[in-house]
Structure 1
Amino acid sequence: MLVDDAVALVPSIPGRRAVLGLAGAPAAGKSTLARRLVTGVDDRLGAGTAAYLPMDGFHLSNAQLDRLGLRGRKGAPETFDVDGYVHLLRRVRETLDRPVYAPDFDRRLEEPVAAGLVVPPQALLVVTEGNYLADDGPGWEQVRGLLDELWYVDTPRSLRERRLLRRHVRGGRTESEARAFIAASERPNARRVERGRERATRTVVPGRHS
């Protein structure tokens, strides 16, 4: 079971917590799996043993995207604060004596929310997830070395794009606008994500691994 493998990552060496990364294309099911792993570890080892830290909290705000002319590319690597994400990964690995606060992402607002999440001092495992954890572009190439393991979440494109269509329509786009955005932005992003899968420790297929 994947939860067993996550439990095995909980360190017994004082001074540092473990970090498990989940990479995958948009709508692959990374956040669902991450939350399930956190819940499973907590059920086994006690509440607060694991914490969830999504990369999405490091989306640039819509105001910054507009300033940069990148609103139509939202979700591409250049639309994230990669330096902030790398800095936070270093902090959560090494800071054990006080809470570490992290930004979350509100899909209703389509905006990051400062300090929406917390990694409590007792957490020994952080599960982080995002599209570009296996990317080797500027800034992103530092992420892999901060992860104890990196799992690639592999989901068929047809299923991912159905999920994306629902997500964007719920977010306020018309169906035609959503389809256009998927074609112009989400598919190129997915192709880039897929190029990094060889840097992952293993590949997991949601529904096939329990």
Structure 2
Amino acid sequence: MLVDDAVALVPSIPGRRALLGLAGAPAAGKSTLARRLVSGVNDRVGAGTAAYVPMDGFHLSNAQLDRLGLRDRKGAPETFDVDGYVHLLRRLRGDRQHPVYAPDFDRRLDEPVAAGLVVAPGVRLVVTEGNYLADDGAGWGQVRDLLDELWYVDAPRQLRERRLLRRHVRGGRSELEARAFIAASERPNARRVERSRAYCTRVVAPGH
């Protein structure tokens, strides 16, 4: 059903492009759902119809986080380049004649990667996802105005935190370090994201 709803967002007029946003707490399943939607749309409508552009590419680099004293808050709203993300969304809406390059995020490096993604001119639906797409903080409030729909991806806290623990241990933290980071950073971030739920078009809980 969710793929059906994503297909319905694809503009029927050539040269037009729609943007679907997925918001939700860390490890709610946003990226998994985004990839599934893009794959489903491309299977049904045709290859190259949809593309995936995550917000995570706009993480500040670890060097910048160290400079700002924010390394232990990585993942909080102030650790992203929200102005850069908003600018990209405007380009995706407005420039349908040229390839649009976007940064990606490498979890192995724990760093953003410049121009890791490209949205071809023929793409008619972009699925983007991130924690703060529905946030009303400085800069973030502009994001909602650039999206055709914004879905909130919901998942139980216990499930999310199990996923986060695995993610951080795979990333090189000890289990003790991972649990401390979840308590100090991920959990407060999740509470903030949950408060933005009312700004979303709908709530989905795929596969949970």
Q: TM-score, normalised by structure 1?
A: 0.98
Deviations 1:102-154 (A, max 9, x none): 00000000000000001111100000000000000000000000000000000
Aligned to 2:52: 52
Aligned to 2:38: 38
Give 1:207 shift: 1.6
Structure 2's unaligned 5+ residue stretches are: none
How far apart in 2 are the matches of 1:67 and 1:16?
41
How far apart in 1 are the matches of 2:84 and 2:128?
14
1:193 aligns with 2:193: yes
Deviations 1:17-66 (A, max 9, x none): 10000000000000000000000000001111000000000000000000
Indicate the SS of the match to 1:143. helix
Aligned to 1:136: 136
Aligned to 2:184: 184
How far apart in 2 are the matches of 1:40 and 1:153?
18
Runs of 4+ with >2 A deviation: 12-16
CA contact (8 A) 1:168 1:178 kept: yes
Partner letter of residue 3 of structure 1? V
1:94-113 maps to which residues of 2 (within 5 A)?
A: 94-113=94-113
CA contact (8 A) 1:15 1:94 kept: no
1:13-162 maps to which residues of 2 (within 5 A)?
A: 13=13, 15-162=15-162
Aligned length: 208
Cα 1:15–1:122 change in 2 (3 A) is closer
Deviations 1:6-27 (A, max 9, x none): 0000112455310000000000
Give the fraction of aligned pairs with identical amino acids, expressed as a percent: 85
Partner letter of residue 145 of structure 1? D
How far apart in 1 are the matches of 2:152 and 2:26?
12
Aligned to 1:168: 168
CA contact (8 A) 1:10 1:18 kept: yes
CA contact (8 A) 1:21 1:151 kept: yes
